[in-house]
Amino acid sequence: MNQANAMLELNQVRLRFKQQQVLDCISLNQLTGEINCLLGPSGCGKSTLLKLIAGLIKPDSGTISMAGKELSSKRNVIAPEQRQIGMVFQDLALFPHLTVAENICFGLYQQPKQQQQQRLQQLLELIGLTAKAEQYPSALSGGQQQRVALARALAPKPKLLLLDEPFSGFDSHLKSTLVPELRQILKHEGITSLIVTHDQHEAFALADRVAVMNDGQVHQYDTPQQIYRCPASAFVARFIGSGQ
């Protein structure tokens, strides 16, 4: 793998909560522009790993680097707000008292108004919600709110975007349109993205490479095709085979 091209590097990251080894020797190397998924059953440590990368918690050992610069080791070398990382959490959390346009521009307050407007129009077009700019979140469907949350995270052009179960709570019909749409938007923006899901169909449809996790460990980190063809452990074979 070309190290010079790596956007996100995790090197032997470990974390315990009390007696539990929540993350055990996690190493990942995500290339610039790549979409990666963390795939695994509930409780395997996916969300905790995202929080470590965002800097909300610190690893016990190992290092996390972005674009060759160390972010975290046993301490946070770079503060969370200075990491140029965008996040979309499970519960979306749009600001209910702000319009769609205001929500999207929330992270752009330091930019000149004209620049904000340009970025806003570009993102509204990208998510297909130009007509809804002045609406409040309560007037939007779940899928539309999800797109606004994505646009808000993309607005400041973060170097890395973290999405935690972006489709949880959506029915399979809505997912089948939103999943390819999300991949298209992320590739259009060229943004390096790490997406957490427990749904293998979602992971395989979205990701260039998937890290299959269980019990705090990465069992396999490879392309969907390779994971499907050559599962690296009995767990991966079972998990993929079960169609969960």
Q: Is 45 in the site for ligand ADP (CB under 6 A)?
A: yes
* Minimum gap (Å) between residue 48 Cβ and ligand ADP: 3
Among 21, 27, 32, 47, binds Mg ion (CB under 5 A): 47
Q: Is 168 in the site for Mg ion (CB under 5 A)?
A: no
Question: 42 vs 138, which CB is nearer to ligand ADP?
Answer: 42
Question: 47 vs 117, which CB is nearer to Mg ion?
Answer: 47
Question: 16 vs 159, which CB is nearer to ligand ADP?
Answer: 16
Which of ligand ADP, Mg ion, none binds 226 (CB below 5-8 Å, type-dependent)?
none
Neighbours of 12 (CB within 10 A): 12
**Closest residue by Cα to residue 49 from 66, 86, 24:** 24
| Euclidean distance between CA atoms 237 and 76, whole angstroms | 36
* Minimum gap (Å) between residue 149 Cβ and Mg ion: 16
Among 11, 21, 27, 47, binds ligand ADP (CB under 6 A): 47
Which of Mg ion, ligand ADP, none binds 22 (CB below 5-8 Å, type-dependent)?
ligand ADP
- CA dihedral (92, 236, 65, 67) in degrees, to 10, reads -80
| Euclidean distance between CA atoms 61 and 191, whole angstroms | 28
b vs e for 68-95, b when ≥16 Cβ sit within 10 Å of the residue's Cβ?
eeebbbeebebebeebebbbbbeebebe
Hey, which bits of 40-166 come out as E strands?
61-66, 69-72, 85-88, 160-164
Question: 47 vs 73, which CB is nearer to ligand ADP?
Answer: 47
Among 33, 43, 80, 107, binds ligand ADP (CB under 6 A): 43
Q: Is 94 in the site for ligand ADP (CB under 6 A)?
A: no
Q: Is 46 in the site for ligand ADP (CB under 6 A)?
A: yes
Q: Is the Cβ–Cβ distance between 40 and 239 less than 8 Å?
A: yes
Residues that bind Mg ion (CB under 5 A): 47
